[in-house]
Structures are given as C-alpha cells and as structure tokens.
Structure 1
Amino acid sequence: MKRFSFSHGTVLTIILVLPAAILFGSDIAAASAGDPTDGFTEVPLKPSNIALQKPYDVPLDQRYSFIDGVHRMWVYSDDKPFSRHSDTQPRTEIRIAGLDYSSGVWQFEGHGYVPKGTSGATVAQIHGASHGATTGVSSTVMVRIYSGDLRYYSGDVIARGMYDKWFRLNMIHDADAGKVAVYVDGKEVFRHDARGKARAFYFKCGVYAAPKDHSRYMESRWKNIKMYKKK
C-alpha cells in the first residue's frame, strides 16, 4: 500500500519492519486492518447536525437540493462567500454542526459523487488547525478534486479517475495523537500528521473553491453521511 507521506529508502524499510501501531498510534492503525469503521461507535445524526453554508446573496434552493437521500451542492467561481463579512472563496457545503471536538478519535463517512468538469474544489475536509493564523491554512485535511483526481490539498494524489461515479470516503482524525487517515472505498489512501491542535475541529463536505485553478462551475453530491467516535 502506498504511503504518500513517506519517500523510498530507509524510511520505507522502517515502515515495513515496524508494526503500524508503533508508527502511527494504535487507534488509527487498527482501522487499517479491516473496515475503517471497525472499533468505532456511530454517533446518530439529527437534522440539526446538517448545517448548510452557501453564497450569502442567493436562496438556498439555487445552490442546494436534497432528493431521494442525496445532497447536491453546487457553486460558481464568481459567487459570493458564505458571509457578507468573509473574504473566503465561494462554497456550498454541509458543516457537521453540534459535534465539534478537540480530543478523541473521530471519523466521517459519506458516499460522494463529483461530475466531470468540476476541478479545483475541496469536496471534503476536517476543519481546524493550529497553523492557520500564520499560514492561512485552517483545515487539518482538505480532499480536493483536480481533473478527476482526489488530492490532499493540491499536493499528493490519493485517488485517480473519480469523476461520475459514487465512492465511499472515510476520514479519521486522532486529535490526541495528531494523526489523520483517509480511505476511499474502504482502502487506506493517505496517512499524515495532523496540523496541530485547535480549539475545535469539525467535518465538512460539498464544494469549496480552491484559491486558484478552479473551474467556473463546481458540484458534488453526498449521501449516507455518518459520524463515528472511538470510545
């Protein structure tokens, strides 16, 4: 299995020799041995946990629909931000509200779909990081799509050829150990150190335009959204 945060050579040899629990911490490592939700307890979601963010100057139904269990979200590159006083990029996103955390091991699961043509958009993220004040990075994980490939921010490719098909996405965050892992269709595709502590972390999915190189129209669809926590 590829470990995108490590290079070939000595470090790779160590990974092959040492148990995953020693390298990454037992909580996240245990998930890699089977289904990513093994050992987790589902946290039931209520309608109030699904909070929508969209351009502040348009009605919700012009950027969002919910039909047959599918949340469809779209945005244009020249849309306004979600708040009149925000200078962020345009977005239409679901923010998992009421389940903010600063400790423990948490997991997001959802089935996503990105139509061909959407590019340069974050489709899922773990919001919160200690480095945002100095670097402008305010999320521990951003899963973006560029030309059909899912990437960690605009860097490492974590899954290729993802247009026009449903995929299962799991994001695990061990806030105590400072580790994150991402799974696509039940397979681990990315593991990395988190970006430090934050007062509050939370999960999001939808479309949020990247700072540059984004398409004019961006869309993603989500269903079967679930939250889990390790006891």
Structure 2
Amino acid sequence: MASSSPSWWGAAACVVLAVAMAAAASSPAAAEPTDGFTAVRLGDGNFKLQWSYDVKNSSRYSFDGTVRRLWVFSNDKPHTPQSKTNPRTEIRMTGYDYSSGVWQFEGTGYVPSGTTGVSIMQVFGGGQTATTLMLHVYDGDLWYYHQQLVETNIYDRWFRLNVVHDVAASQLTVFVDGRERLRVAGKGGDSHYFKFGVYTQMINPTRRMESRWRGVSILNKN
C-alpha cells in the first residue's frame, strides 16, 4: 500500500522553491538610470536642427509629433557654408548647456539596417577635443567612438539610451535598455550640451545614414 505522506524529493523541492521565492522577494529591483534625476522642461525651441545648408530641412528631417526622423547623405554639404565639418543632420539641445553638476540624456532610438560609419549621439564639449563622448554605429553595433563596443545588434529595433555625465567626477555612463554598458572618463572642457541624429564619420560611411528618436528628455541631479 502506498504511503500517504509526501515523498522525500517532493519535500525537498518545496524547500528549494520556498528559499528561491524568499531570495527573490528580498532582492532589490535594479535601479533605473533616471532614479534621483529630475526632468527639465523642454519645448520646440530646445530642439535646434542642424542640416546641410543648401537644401530644405524637410529633405533631411521629419517630425510627426512623436518620432523625429533624421537622415543625411555622405556627399551633403556641412550645416553652414563656413564649416569644414562632415555632413550632418543633428538636433542640438539648447537652453541647458552645463559646466557643472550631473546631467542625463534619455531617448529611445532606432537605426535602420544599412546605416554605418555615423555618430548618432554625442556630448559636445571637451578639453583637447570637440566632444567628450560620441556614440557611433558600425555594421549594426554601437561603439564609443571607434574604440570600444557598447551594444551589439541595434539595427531595426527601438532601444532606450541613457547617457549620464557627472562633470565633477569627470565620468560618463551609458545605459542601453536600462543596463549599464559603458563607463568612461570625461575629456575636460568648460561647457557641454547634448546632440543626437546622424553625423558622418571618417570610417566607411554609407551613402545614406539615418536614425529615429522619440521620447527625448534631459534630466539633472541637484
């Protein structure tokens, strides 16, 4: 006649499950990159578009009220006749240039397949360089300049990007979809601001480059 008491393995399984549930309940949730930050007020005037000076902006940029779509061609003119820089269609965030404190860029980005050799986001302002951080796309991967891999397989998907700049600590931290993917030292400089879009780079840019953005915000920490 079979015993009515639980078998030893059944009891052991119950103990293991109870321990796992208790551990999960006691484990703190992963911190959000925006925890402790406050979003600043942004309006249309804070989004300043830069594009090739010899064409209409509507031929390089669209905004449907939710998604900002920016594209550029490798043979485009610079954004001003006097500029010697590479072609770009970028938004320069204005009204919140900073030289101290802890600041954060947040946005959800999308890079269509085929776009490569381009910067899609930057923290402008450095000591010996024009920027203190740039995020490039090469063959579907996101890079810190062309020096360090940040995230693989970003083509054809929306990803949340958070970039935190602690000026006093001279440190920048990059999060992709809430996960820390990069932490690097700053490059000095007395004034900084955020930019996003497409800015042609020197390494194998494609003829046409594009990025799309929604939910862009700037946050700071007092």
Query: With structure 1 as the length reference, what TM-score do the two structures score?
Result: 0.82
AA in 1 matched with 2:181 = V
Question: CA offsets per residue over residues 110-149 of structure 1, 9 Å max, x none?
Answer: 00000000001000110110012xxxxx111101100000
Is 1:211 aligned to residue 208 of structure 2?
no
Aligned pairs for 1:35-46 (under 5 A) are 35-46=32-43
DSSP-derived class of the 2:108 partner: strand
Distance, in Å, in 2 between the alignment partners of 1:216 and 1:124 is 19
Is 1:186 aligned to residue 167 of structure 2?
no
Is 1:74 aligned to residue 71 of structure 2?
yes
AA in 2 matched with 1:202 = Y
DSSP-derived class of the 1:212 partner: coil
Show the counterpart of 1:57.
Answer: 54
For structure 2, the 5+ residue unaligned runs are 1-29
Show the counterpart of 2:5.
Answer: none
- The number of equivalent residue pairs is 193
- Counterpart selection for 2:133 from 113, 119, 141: 141
**Matched-pair identity in %:** 49
The 4+ residue runs of structure 1 with deviation greater than 2 A are none
Question: CA offsets per residue over residues 135-194 of structure 1, 9 Å max, x none?
Answer: xxx111101100000000011110000000000000000111110000000000000000
Distance, in Å, in 1 between the alignment partners of 2:55 and 2:191 is 29
For structure 1, the 5+ residue unaligned runs are 1-32, 133-137
Query: With structure 2 as the length reference, what TM-score do the two structures score?
Result: 0.85
Distance, in Å, in 2 between the alignment partners of 1:212 and 1:119 is 9
Show the counterpart of 1:225.
Answer: 216
AA in 1 matched with 2:163 = M
1:200 CA drift (Å):
1.4
Is 1:199 aligned to residue 196 of structure 2?
no
DSSP-derived class of the 2:78 partner: coil
1:62 CA drift (Å):
0.2
AA in 1 matched with 2:46 = N
Distance, in Å, in 2 between the alignment partners of 1:117 and 1:67 is 23
